[in-house]
Amino acid sequence: MSIKGPAVFLAQFMDDHEPYNSLDGICGYMADLGYKGVQIPTWDSRLIDLDLAAESKDYCDELAGKIAQHGMEITELSTHLQGQMVAVHPAYDDMYDGLAPAELRGKPSQRTEWAKGQVRKAVQASAHLGLKVHATFSGALLWPMMYPWPQRPAGLVEVGFRELADRWMPLLDHAADHGVKLCYEIHPGEDLHDGVTWEMFHDATSHHKAAGILYDPSHFLLQQLDYLQFIDLYHEHIGMFHVKDAEFNPTGRSGVYGGYQGWKDRAGRFRSPGDGQIDFSGIFARLTQYGYSGWAVMEWECCIKSAQQGAKEGAGFISSHLIDIAGKSFDDFAGMETDLQLNKKILGL
Quick check: 271 and 245 in contact, CB under 8 A?
A: yes
> CB–CB of 295/243 below 8 Å?
no
CB 177 within 8 A of CB 205: no
DSSP for 31-61 reads HHHT--EEEEETT-TTT--HHHHHH-HHHHH
Residue pair 141/191 in contact by the 8 Å Cβ criterion: yes
Query: Residue-wise over 110-129: b if at least 16 C-beta within 10 A, else e?
Result: ebbebbbebbbbbbbbbbbb
Q: How far apart are CA 171 and CA 272, in angstroms?
A: 34
Q: Residue 329: pLDDT above 80?
A: no
Query: CB–CB of 111/97 below 8 Å?
Result: yes
Q: Which of 136-150, 312-326, 327-341 has the lowest mean pLDDT?
A: 327-341
Report the domain count for the chain: 1
pLDDT tens by residue, 41-83:
999 999 999 999 999 999 999 999 999 999 999 999 999 999 9
* Structure confidence by residue, pLDDT tens digits, 17-36: 999 999 999 999 999 999 99
Per DSSP (E only), the strands in the chain are 4-9, 37-41, 73-79, 133-136, 181-185, 211-215, 238-243, 245-248, 268-271, 295-298
Split at pLDDT 50, 70, 90, the class of 325 is confident
Q: Is pLDDT above 70 for 331?
A: no
Distance CA 19, CA 70 (A): 14
Amino acid of residue 14: M
Burial 305-315 (b: 16+ CB within 10 A, else e): eeeeebbebbb
User: Which residue range forms the structural domain that includes residue 326?
Assistant: 4-346
Binned at pLDDT 50, 70 and 90, residue 338 comes out as confident
- What pLDDT is attached to residue 1? 73
Q: Rounded to whole angstroms, how far apart are CA atoms 180 and 199?
A: 20
Report yes or no: 172 and 180 within 8 Å, Cβ to Cβ.
no
Find the CATH number of the domain harbouring 12: 3.20.20.150
- 8 A C-beta contact, residue 60 and residue 53: yes
| pTM exceeds 0.75, yes or no | yes
